[in-house]
Chains A and B, each alone.
Chain A
Amino acid sequence: AQSVTQLGSHVSVSEGALVLLRCNYSSSVPPYLFWYVQYPNQGLQLLLKYTSAATLVKGINGFEAEFKKSETSFHLTKPSAHMSDAAEYFCAVSPSGNTGKLIFGQGTTLQVKP
């Protein structure tokens, strides 16, 4: 069965510091992988997605993620955190292509300190 594990339910960084949110997946087939961000009282917003093309995926707001098959990982990074990046981040896998059925990780709350 497919699954997603996000390491660290809470990550705190200083403004301007590197952001690294970890995501490992389990899938028996080549997966589609996603990162979503959820701001308070708003719907999930797609940051980026991997669909078996380039392994380094660039998304919105300066975020990027690298698909590493050997490590079954899809970690999210941003070189320099902004206060506005504080939110909940979810990694998700779609085990059956672009059908829309998503399996989500537990989520990571990113805190950005001034």
Chain B
Amino acid sequence: GAVVSQHPSWVICKSGTSVKIECRSLDFQATTMFWYRQFPKQSLMLMATSNEGSKATYEQGVEKDKFLINHASLTLSTLTVTSAHPEDSSFYICSGKLAGGEQYFGPGTRLTVT
């Protein structure tokens, strides 16, 4: 199947700083990319949906000014956590979807805010 990569796989940052997470579809063009958040031992929660060249659509309760999503190309989407705080520590997972086709998930990025 198609491959989605995320970088970095693990990042530690200090409270108040910003961190960027990249999501790339390596062998297909993802017309839509999704960002999920997963707390330990819990389910994945959809944060936002982004289409290439368009503004992301955020789920209710997700602060769009805190979680900046950019989908500049059909193979790259980035999530920037601005002014990170310890409560933002989590596992962030992206996925890419072919138009009318399957959805493929990245391996996730573990964010730890100290």
Contacts and interface: CB of A to CB of B under 8 A. Distances in A.
Interface of A: 9, 36, 41-46, 90, 98, 100-107
A101 B107 contact: no
Interface string B76-114: 000000000000000001010100111111111000000
B49 interface: yes
A100 B107 contact: no
A44 B93 contact: yes
B49 A100 contact: yes
A43 B44 contact: no
Nearest to B94: A43
B86 to A, nearest CB: 23
Interface of B: 1, 4, 9, 32, 34, 41-46, 49, 93, 95, 97, 100-108
- The list of the 4 closest CB pairs from A to B, nearest first, reads A43-B105, A44-B105, A100-B97, A104-B43
A29 to B, nearest CB: 18
Is the contact region of chain A dominated by helix, strand, or loop, or is it mixed?
loop
A43 B102 CA distance: 14
Given A43-B4, A43-B93, A102-B103, A90 B108 contact: no
Contacts of A101: 34, 46, 49
A100 B30 CA distance: 11
A38 to B, nearest CB: 8
A93 to B, nearest CB: 12
A100 B4 CA distance: 15
Most buried by A among B42, B44, B107: B44
Contacts of A104: 43-45
B46 A42 contact: no
Contacts of A44: 44, 93, 95, 105
Contacts of A42: 107
A45 B97 CA distance: 13
Contacts of A36: 105
